[in-house]
Structure 1
Amino acid sequence: MSNVLIISGHPDLQQSTANRTILGELKKALPNAEIRDLGALYPNYQFNIEAEQAALLKADVIVWQFPIHWYHLPAILQKWLSDVFTFGFAYGLATQLAGKKLIISCTTAGAEEAYQHGGAQNYTIEELSYGYKQTATLCGLEFGEIVHSGGMLYIPGVNTKDDLKAVQAKAIKHAERLVALLK
């Protein structure tokens, strides 16, 4: 299997049933993959650029795992991208990431059927992902697939235990789809 790097872009993974479950399943299924939890490593959003770039250079496949926030990357993942994907490293005269594969693994609180024309979100996940695709193009990355799961909201004290089980089950299925893609 390729060297897989998973960048967890959730700002506080302990608050996310879905993303925490997905990453837990990935750890079990892909024990050699490197998982970098940005929220735990950098709660102040001050990244170790050299360490992050070194991890990217070792990888053959890069996975961004995150919840979509207001149709975009969460702030911590956006800042990581801005700080780490620098001119001369990721794009420009040198594209040191060229040839690596980028896979988007994302969750939404809204149901999957909301992400279609005429649905509550009015656009598909693929249409909302143009920025990720263009980032891959600019950096010479091969854009892989988008693994998306919707309806991944669980709020303790608001939702029921059945809701929790449903989100966990969807998260496990999400991880299985991602693992199948990576193997």
Structure 2
Amino acid sequence: MKILHMLFHPHMETSSVNRVWNEMISQSDQVETSKDMYALYPSLNIDVEREQQDLVEHDRILLQFPFYWYAGPPLLKKWIDEVLLYGFAYGSKGTHLRGKQMLVITSVGGSEEDYHPGGAQELTVDEYLQPLRKTAHLCNMDFLRPLRMYDAAKVDKQVIRAHGEQFISKLREEVAVRKQIRSGDDIVVN
């Protein structure tokens, strides 16, 4: 499985969580390609052909970003608008993403208790991420359960690294299972 990791963070210089995760994920042997999208496109002029080619060449797309204002950063929305075009990503001839996977990895400043019915934010993070789920669905992609860390503004480096290790471990396990399936080996589930 070829994994494409894209980091969408407009202020990496002030990030604690996403900076550490980005280093961990981009150095992981599970990830084929890792890109810091704001560093790649500081003027926000996206190379659509390059981005589409990267999508075609990978099986799983990791979208990493800080969750604020109930969504992802502006470049993520611009990227979706400009790259996931009719005829490429969806529509009768837009089959390039069919069967690929989308995985969101996000840091949330608020507490988990805030993000539920009756909490300060009223909805869950998963409910706020519905536009990404619907985008994946429109593109015939599998939307995997998002990975998130709450209280991002308050946690120490050990907790941040522990979450990063969990993400990488999950990627490693899933890649190993896919390799076994492709090779025809028996898979034992305990």
2:103 maps to a residue whose letter is I
Partner of 1:3 in structure 2? 2
Larger radius of gyration: 2
RMSD: 1.4
Q: Is the aligned partner of 1:30 residue 2:29?
A: yes
Instruction: After TM superposition, give the deviation of residue 44 of structure 1 in Å.
Output: 1.0
**TM-score of the pair, normalised by structure 1:** 0.88
Instruction: After TM superposition, give the deviation of residue 130 of structure 1 in Å.
Output: 1.2
Instruction: After TM superposition, give the deviation of residue 5 of structure 1 in Å.
Output: 0.4
SS of the equivalent of 1:174 reads helix
Q: Is the aligned partner of 1:172 residue 2:161?
A: yes
Structure 2 unmatched ranges of 5 or more? 173-190
Q: What does the per-residue CA deviation read over 1:79-136, in whole Å, with 9 as the maximum and x for residues that have no partner?
A: 1111111111111122211100110111111122211122221111111121111111
8 Å CA contact 1:151–1:167 kept in 2: the answer is no
Q: Is the aligned partner of 1:108 residue 2:97?
A: no
Partner of 1:87 in structure 2? 86
SS of the equivalent of 1:66 reads strand
1:181 maps to a residue whose letter is K
1:86 maps to a residue whose letter is L
Structure 1 unmatched ranges of 5 or more? 154-162
Q: What does the per-residue CA deviation read over 1:47-105, in whole Å, with 9 as the maximum and x for residues that have no partner?
A: 01111111111111101000112111210111111111111111112221110011011
**TM-score of the pair, normalised by structure 2:** 0.84
Instruction: After TM superposition, give the deviation of residue 26 of structure 1 in Å.
Output: 1.1
Distance 1:132 1:106 in 2: 12
Identity %: 32
1:107 maps to a residue whose letter is S
Distance 2:156 2:71 in 1: 21
Instruction: After TM superposition, give the deviation of residue 32 of structure 1 in Å.
Output: 4.3
Distance 1:61 1:135 in 2: 15
1:88 maps to a residue whose letter is G
Partner of 2:145 in structure 1? 145
